[in-house]
Amino acid sequence: MTQTEVFLAQLDAEAARTRKALERVPEGKDDWTPHPKSMPFGRLAMLVARMPSWIALVVERDELNLGDSNIDQRPLRTAAELVQAMDEAVAQSRKALQSANDERLMKPWRLLVAGRVVNEAARHVVLRDTFMHLAHHRGQLTVYLRLNGAGVPAIYGPSADDTTFA
């Protein structure tokens, strides 16, 4: 199995898990935060929905300069909009991975902030970290769901609200 096949399988699995959480995001809670230092609910949900698009960025570009980024930051107001944005991001990243090969994934990739390199690693390492970053923020999103009375879906196993998982 190639690295691209492994990442494609992981993308599909994480997309299914993420969809279940995004489908439960309540409307009208965009500005809610559990703490003043926490990210607002709407921004967190948007981040989780669009984060799968980062995979395509890593595969297709040699670097990303956040100071010059054109990453879509338009608000997503409903669960349907969140799921649609995630589906689009997954499709974009699936296409990028299908056109890549292991040699490409071994090449370095850089993240810059205002022109300064803050991270440089082989693409496959950055992709692995992107999946972990998605899992982290999806977990954060499930806490927000719980604190707002929305059911928490089964993700890696049953939850108190959903005892089924696949």
pLDDT bucket at 166, cuts 50 / 70 / 90: low
- Percentage of the chain with pLDDT > 90? 86
Supply the CATH classification number for the domain 3-147: 1.20.120.450
Taking CA atoms, 7 is separated from 18, 75, 100, 155, in Å, by: 16, 28, 11, 18
pLDDT bucket at 71, cuts 50 / 70 / 90: low
Q: What is the pLDDT of residue 70?
A: 62
pLDDT bucket at 165, cuts 50 / 70 / 90: low
Q: Could you write out the DSSP letters of every residue in 24-62?
A: TPPTT-TT--SSTTSPPHHHHHHHHHHTTHHHHHHHH-S
- Which pLDDT tens digit goes with each residue over 95-145? 999 999 999 999 999 999 888 999 999 999 999 999 999 999 999 999 999
Looking at the DSSP assignment, which residues form a beta bridge with residue 120? 110
Q: What is the pLDDT of residue 68?
A: 65
Q: What is the pLDDT of residue 8?
A: 98
Q: What is the pLDDT of residue 39?
A: 96
| CA-CA-CA-CA torsion sign (74, 27, 43, 153) | negative
The residues spanned by each domain of the chain are 3-147
Contact between 22 and 86 (Cβ < 8 Å): yes
- Which pLDDT tens digit goes with each residue over 1-55? 899 999 999 999 999 999 999 999 999 999 999 999 999 999 999 999 999 999 9
Q: Which residue has the higher pLDDT, 153 or 70?
A: 153
Task: Among 64-78, 81-95, 135-149, name the one with the lowest average pLDDT.
Answer: 64-78
Phi then psi dihedrals of residue 40, to 5 deg: -60, 150
